[in-house]
Each structure stands twice: as structure tokens, then as C-alpha cells.
Amino acid sequence: MDKMYLSKIVQGGNTLYIKDSEAREAISALEAYSDYLGVTTTALTDGATTNPITINSESVTAKKGNIANYGSKEFIFNGSAWQEFGDLSALGELAYVDEATGSVTAAGTNAPSAVSFSGTTDADFVTGVDTAAVAPSFTEGAFSAGTLPSFTEGAFSTGTLPSLGEATTGNFATEGVTASYTEATETLTLGSASTSAAVTAQGSFSAGTLPSKAADTFSAGTLPSKAADTFSAGSAATFSTSKAITGLGTATAAAQVFTGSAVEVTVSAA
């Protein structure tokens, strides 16, 4: 008889998925492929069938796809023999680092030079406004016309009549749980039994409220008023100054001469 599998169970709006042990075993076997075992002290050559090998003083049995290093070479186990697929012996020290540092020492001399001026004169000039001038101003006080007396009659409420809340009902099963299996989708479906309604709690009772009227309010209003006038005399502007050359005179600069020589660059692994 062929195997029959169960992948999920459906109950109402919920779907319950079942773990597949066969699939988990197959995935576990695939995860071992291309695992790096480490550096071995067991001599390995291309085509060697040595197994197990020693890594960190411990015996390790290689599986198909396992990778190990021996010396500068890399080997992968094909299930029966080791196959070489890499040799790092030709690489220098800088092949094993991400960064390197070096130093350059420049050699040579630069002849001194100087610039001199003679016959210069200067004077003060306005370079900007520190504080802008403010013109006189007059502000008339605001006028308030006041408010008239007012009367507000309190709101009237007619109250509410007594009432009874709606009853609470619940569904009760009249038959057992149903179940069906679909082989095409490997699904077990649990169905809900038929139900009927019954009163489970009576609604709450409200006695209502009596008619009522809120309190009246009266406001006497306010008299007209006027705020005080204000006057500002303003202020004069202020300026900042700095020196400026009015006569440059003459200037002389000596020519620069640089004498260089060979340099040596040293780069070392970080």
C-alpha cells in the first residue's frame, strides 16, 4: 500500500501545519556539504584517501563536501578521496591582510624668500552699519467698547423613560464535531457542529431620569476703556570702521628655488 501523508489540519479559521521528519533529515544531509573542517596536521595530497584526519589534535572523520587545509594547499573530500583545488604558497605576506602602511620621506631644500613693502599709507573707512537708525514713532492706545449685559436661561432636560437592555444569547452545539480528509492536499478538516441560540443573560434595567433645568446665568458687562498712548524718540545709527591702504608703494619678492633629491618608499604589512 502506498504511503499516505498528512501535511496540515484545518479547524475553523486556523490551519495547523505538521513538521516533516523526512524533509528535515534530507536538509540536514545537505547542510554538511562544503563545511570547513579546519587546518589538519595529517599529510594530504591530491587523490589521497586518508580518513579520518587530525585537526587540533583530534581525530575528525570527513564527509562528502568537507574542506580542509594542509600547509598552503586546500582540499575537498569527494566522499572517497581528497581533491586539491587551491594552493596559496605563491602568495606574499600582503595577500593575508586587508590594509598596509608605508612611509615616504621627501628630501631637498627650499631657498628662503621674502616680500617687503615701502611707502604705504592708510586711513579709516566705514565697512558696515552696527546699529540701524530708528525713526520716532507714536502708538495710540487701543479702544475697547465694553460689553452689554447678558442673560442666559438654563437648559431644560425632559429626562428619560425606564428601559430594559436586550438579552444576551449564545450558540450551543446540537450535534458532534465533523472531520474530513482530502488526500490530494493532505488536509484534515475539522467542521463545526450545528448550533442553536439560547438566552444566557437578561439585559440591564434603567429607571430613567426626571426632567431638570440648568441654572440661569447673568453677566453685567464691562464699561468702555482706552489703553495708554506710547511715544518713542528713535535712535541714531552707529557704524564700524577698519583700516584700508590708500597708497601701496612698492613691493619686491625674491625668487624661490627648490632643490630635491631621490626618496625611498617603504611598505609593510599591517
Write the single-letter amino acid at 202: Q
Q: Domain for residue 131, yes or no?
A: no
- What rounded mean pLDDT belongs to the chain? 78
Q: Report yes or no: 232 and 61 within 8 Å, Cβ to Cβ.
A: no
Q: Report the alpha-carbon distance of residue 148 to residue 30 in Å, rounded.
A: 92
17 in a structural domain = no
For residue 30, list its beta bridge partners: none
Distance CA 258, CA 254 (A): 13
- Classify residue 28 by its DSSP letter: H
Of the candidate ranges 23-32, 138-147, 189-198, 200-209, the one whose mean pLDDT is the lowest: 23-32
27 occurs within a structural domain: no
Q: Check residues 198 and 3 and name the one with the higher pLDDT.
A: 3
Domain-embedded: residue 42: yes
Q: How many domains does the chain have?
A: 2
Least confident of 22-26, 28-32, 130-134: 28-32
pLDDT digits (tens, 9 = 90+) for 126-173: 788 878 888 888 788 887 877 888 878 888 788 788 777 776 776 655
Would 209 be classed as within a structural domain?
yes
Domain span at 198:
139-179+194-225
Tallying the residues shown for the chain, one arrives at: 270
Shared domain for 146 and 85, answered yes or no, is no
d(CA 4, CA 21): 14
Return the HEC string of 106-155.
CCEEECCCCEEEECCEEEEEEEEEEECCECCEEECCCEECCECCEEECCC
Encode burial over 20-52: b for 16+ CB neighbours within 10 A, e otherwise: eeeeeeeeeeeeeeeeebeebebebeeebebbe
Measured between alpha carbons, how far is 74 from 86 in angstroms, rounded to an integer? Answer: 5
Residue 38 lies in a domain: yes
Confidence (pLDDT) at 61: 94
Q: Is residue 256 part of a domain?
A: no
Confidence at residue 69, expressed as pLDDT on a 0 to 100 scale: 93
Question: What would the mean pLDDT of 226-234 be, rounded to a whole number?
Answer: 84
Query: What is the Cα–Cα distance from 268 to 100, expressed in whole angstroms?
Result: 6
pTM over 0.85? The answer is no
**CA pair distance 180, 197, nearest whole angstrom:** 26
DSSP 94: G
Contact indicator for 64, 234 with CB cutoff of 8 Å: no
